[in-house]
Chain A
Amino acid sequence: QVQLVQSGAEVKKPGASVMVSCKASGYTFTSYFLHWVRQAPGQGLEWMGIINPSGGSTTYAQNFQGRVTMTRDTSTSTVYMELSSLRSEDSAVYYCARDMVRGVIDYWGQGTLVTVSS
C-alpha cells in the first residue's frame, strides 16, 4: 500500500533552517509528483510547492520563493523540504502529499510538526 512516512518533530530558533524528509513506498517513486503543504495551528492548508521525483524539477509557491528548497533522492525514494530563515509564523505541521493527477492529492504523509521559538 502507498505510504508516505515523514521525519519527526523539530524545534528551531528564529533564523534557522529546517529540513523535513518524506520516504515513499508502495508505488513507483518516480511516477508521481509530490507536494508539500503546511498547516499552522488552527488554520487552513497552504500549498508550498511540488517536486517531480523523476527529474527533480520543482515549482514553488510565490509565498515561499527564495526560502524553500525541495529535493529528492531516488535511491531511497525520499523527498526533502528545506525551509530557511525561519520565523515564528512558520510554526506548523508540514505534510508531503502525492499528486494522483494534475493537482489532485490522493495520499498524505502523517505530518511533521515544526515549532519555531526562541
Chain B
Amino acid sequence: SSELTQDPAVSVALGQTVRITCQGDSLRSYYANWYQQKPGQAPVLVIYGRNNRPSGIPDRFSGSSSGNTASLTITGAQAEDEADYYCNSRDSSGNPRMFGGGTKLTVL
C-alpha cells in the first residue's frame, strides 16, 4: 500500500502524554517525518528520521517506530501544541510522496 493512515482526532489533558500514530507499509523501510500545522500557517517540521528534532523544537516531542507504525509522542502536552499533525514518508528516490491524512490534536 502507498498510503499512510492516521487517526483523525486525538485529545490529551494539559500536561499529560499523548501518542499520535501513523501506519503504512513504507514505514517498514523508511522513517516517518512529522509536521505540526496550526490554523492558517504553513507546516513546521517537528521530528525527522529515527528521532531527530530541528533546532527550536521542544524536547517534549519525540518519535519512534515499530514495524509499519510510526509514533509521535508529546510528553507533557502544552496548550500551544494544539494543532494538526501530519506524518510523511519518502519513497526509494527520497521523495516525500506520501502524507498521512493528519491528526487533529486537542489539548483539554
Bind each other = yes
Q: Is the interface of B mostly helix, strand, loop or mixed?
A: loop
Contact B45 A46 (CB under 8 A): no
Q: Is the interface of A mostly helix, strand, loop or mixed?
A: strand
Instruction: Judge whether B90 is part of the interface by a CB distance below 8 angstroms.
Output: yes
- Cβ-defined partner of A105 (8 Å) among B30, B89, B96: B96
Contact B90 A105 (CB under 8 A): no
Q: How far is it, in angstroms, between the C-alpha of A37 and the C-alpha of B86 when the chains are bound? A: 13
Contact B33 A103 (CB under 8 A): yes
Contacts of A47 in B (CB 8 A): 88, 95-99
Contact A44 B101 (CB under 8 A): yes
Instruction: Judge whether B35 is part of the interface by a CB distance below 8 angstroms.
Output: yes
Listed in ascending order, the chain B residues whose CB lies under 8 Å from chain A are 30, 33, 35, 42-45, 48-49, 54, 86, 88-91, 93-102
Q: List 8 A-B contacts (CB under 8 A).
A: A35-B96, A45-B86, A50-B95, A95-B42, A99-B94, A102-B90, A103-B30, A105-B96
